[in-house]
Amino acid sequence: DPRGTYKCRTDDGKESPSLQVHYRMCQNCIEVDAPTISGIVVADVVATIFLAVAVYCITGQAKGRMSRASDRQNLIANEQLYQ
């Protein structure tokens, strides 16, 4: 962080008037600390687990509703000849 008050000092001990520096990296920057980042990561993991459980529950119910009629094959009677 380059912000602060600066003075130039020569080898013989003379000092220049102080210069105050205000430096900004960008206009829309937000400072993020460690608790904020960890909160975002935990929320992301919880949301991912919730989504995975929801998908599992929905696909598990869809299997119970499927009819077995689609698994049956129409068999040809033995009397018919194959061409």
Kindly report, residue by residue over 25-82, the tens digit of the pLDDT: 677 777 788 999 999 999 999 999 999 999 988 887 655 555 555 556 666 666 666 6
Q: Is residue 18 part of a domain?
A: yes
Q: Is residue 83 part of a domain?
A: no
Q: Are 18 and 6 in contact (CB under 8 A)?
A: yes
- Give, as one character, the DSSP assignment of residue 11: T
What Å distances lie between residue 52 and 26, 43, 73, CA to CA?
Answer: 38, 14, 35
Both tokens assigned to 68: 């077995």
Q: Is residue 28 part of a domain?
A: yes
Q: Is residue 35 part of a domain?
A: yes
Q: Is residue 80 part of a domain?
A: no
Q: Residue 24 pLDDT > 90, yes or no?
A: no
Range of the domain at 22: 3-64
Q: For the chain, how many structural domains are there in total?
A: 1
> If residue 61 lies in a helix (H) or strand (E), which one and from where to where?
helix 34-65
Q: Is residue 43 part of a domain?
A: yes
**Taking the model in full, what pTM does it have?**
0.42
Give the per-residue pLDDT at 9. 85
